[in-house]
Amino acid sequence: MALHPRAGQPAVATDLTNIAQLVSAYFVNEVDPRNRAQKVKFGTSGHRGCAFDSSFNEAHILAISQALVAYREEQGITGPLLLGRDTHALSEAAYMTALEVFIGNGIEVHIQTDDGYTPTPVVSHAILRYNRNRSDGLCDGVVITPSHNPPTDGGFKYNPPHGGPADTNATRTIEKYANALLSSQLMGVNAVTYAEARASDKLKQVDWRKDYIESLDDVIDMSAIAAANLRIGVDAMGGAGASYWALIAEHYKLNIDVHNADVDASFRFMTLDKDGKIRMDCSSPYAMASLVKLRNDYDIALGNDPDYDRHGIVTPTHGLMNPNHYLAVAIDYLCSHRTWSKELAIGKTLVSSAMIDRVVNNYQRPLREMPVGFKWFAPELFAGTTAFGGEESAGASFLDKEGQPWSTDKDGIILALLAAEICAKTGKNPSQYYDGLCEEYGTAYYRRIDVTSSAEMNAGFAGIRGYKLKLTELAGDEVTAIMTKAPANDAIIGGVKVTTANGWFAARPSGTEPVYKIYCESFVSEAHLDELAEQAQHLVTSWLQA
């Protein structure tokens, strides 16, 4: 896909969303339950949509919230529901709707004190803390967020009592119930007015922000960061954790400059992403252009998306790190600087760099290679059998210093602070650290290609069967495996992955856009990567047309 001519440039007035129109559309636009595009659909990170398209409107949230009430009853979840939201405009509207339904059904709901915004990892951390040493009356949580997506979007994520993203069985059940409610014109939805919800004794305010910040030393060596007196820059991206950074600096006596801490639902302070849209993706060099320009002012610079489940790492020597590079660095550092049991595994997605495989093998730890989606890591982090789970899209979490679960959802705050700890403890920034890994294990050349597609073409991935593909060679190397299931748990990956001794590629459809993604990596050269990528595109096209 072609790079937009203004990618990386500051947004101007014509790029901004009319927030008043967007919120009005949320409440006014009618939903057609017969229109597939307007049904409730849970992807890898919950239901997402846009009020203008009638795919994220009041009717959706009424239906999803009531469906979740029914699901909780089925599962015997009787404790409070922890409700958080990020700073997207539709998050505020949906938060109000969800609160009306949950209180209307007699559920005790906990929210952040002072009506503050709440990052996804903070909700996960709070669920784990509340449920610790409990066998009944367990809590669960909802975060209203479309993650890093544009200001027009809304999202609804459910986290069951293990604190991480709900699995497919849960989301399919909630989705089915919600669509049935939409089809029945919301008959069966119980809700009170917002004023009644706010006045209810079922609504409790809890200072999760204080609890989370004061616990950070359990998972990060905060004293080492303070002692190193690092100059730290943060792009808060006007997100749910924007207020956290100044408090973290104050509590731990850190030298942090915070940029874009003010909440503005239009996100007018952003630079445009690769396609010319405002998208708060802290792993994109175009969305992070403002912070990258300041890289020489800091020893380490950090960024987070609006719900703070992703991290962006900017170093003075290299600029914005490739997320795969930082995952490999984080894993290598943690394996050598934490006293975790040797039996604990390291988790990665199938489309993450094979550099991780080499690092994990060096420490003789089990590797858990999962399908895309952090929901696959959550149960193992919760059980304490996996020490680290990470995605190629700049999302990860890991156990605390004692080997206990910290958050079972992606945590952009601790991954950002880990980068500062690495600087403090090793004297090298994470990019320099990665250069050392390349010297030890070889240089990895990695690329992701977004190919314009259609719903019909994307559906064709479901028909690909590895055993039917007569492929013996790829980019001059013998094919060692063709996978349509994840090695760690035999789960369907929704696409295909082909490996050789010197490289691999994987292809899978997007769950939200008319594109499919091809991921490629070579340990030979950039030219070999070009050859691998070209062959991959031809192969995928032929398989989808077969």
pLDDT digits (tens, 9 = 90+) for 414-453: 999 999 999 999 999 999 999 999 999 999 999 999 888 8
Question: How many C-beta atoms surround the C-beta of residue 208 within 10 A?
Answer: 24
Structure tokens at 383: 């059980």
Helix or strand holding residue 63 (H, E): helix 58-75
pLDDT tens, 450-505? 888 888 888 889 888 887 888 999 999 999 999 999 999 999 999 999 999 999 99
**Would the pLDDT of 1 be above 70?**
no
In the 8-state DSSP scheme, what is residue 66? H
Instruction: State yes or no: is 147 an active-site residue.
Output: yes
Dmax of the chain from CA atoms? 68
Structure tokens at 145: 């967020």
Report how far residue 452's alpha carbon sits from residue 327's, in angstroms, rounded to the nearest whole number.
28
**Mean predicted lDDT score pLDDT of the chain:** 96
Give how far Cα 59 sits from Cα of 22, 29, 353, Å: 15, 9, 41
pLDDT tens, 2-40? 899 999 999 999 999 999 999 999 999 999 999 999 999
29: left (phi over 0), alpha (psi -120 to 50) or beta: beta
Burial 465-500 (b: 16+ CB within 10 A, else e): eeeebeeeebbebebeebbbebebeeeebbbbbbbb
Helix or strand holding residue 16 (H, E): none
Dihedral angle sign, alpha carbons of residues 221, 222, 225, 227: negative
Q: Given pLDDT bands bounded at 50, 70 and 90, which one contains residue 244?
A: very high
Structure tokens at 459: 């559906």
Q: Given pLDDT bands bounded at 50, 70 and 90, which one contains residue 512?
A: low
**Would the pLDDT of 322 be above 80?**
yes
Which residues on adjacent β-strands are paired with residue 506? 497, 519
Report how far residue 362's alpha carbon sits from residue 189's, in angstroms, rounded to the nearest whole number.
55
Report how far residue 340's alpha carbon sits from residue 335's, in angstroms, rounded to the nearest whole number.
8
Give how far Cα 405 sits from Cα of 49, 157, 472, Å: 31, 20, 42
Q: Given pLDDT bands bounded at 50, 70 and 90, which one contains residue 515?
A: confident
Average pLDDT over residues 511-532: 92
SS3 109: strand
Provide the CB-side half-sphere exposure for 183 (13 A, CA): 11
In the 8-state DSSP scheme, what is residue 140? E
423: which residues sit within 8 A by CB, 6+ positions away?
A: 228, 230, 299, 300, 429, 430
The active-site residue out of 45, 55, 91, 147 is: 147
Number of residues written out for the chain:
546
Look up the pTM and report it: 0.96
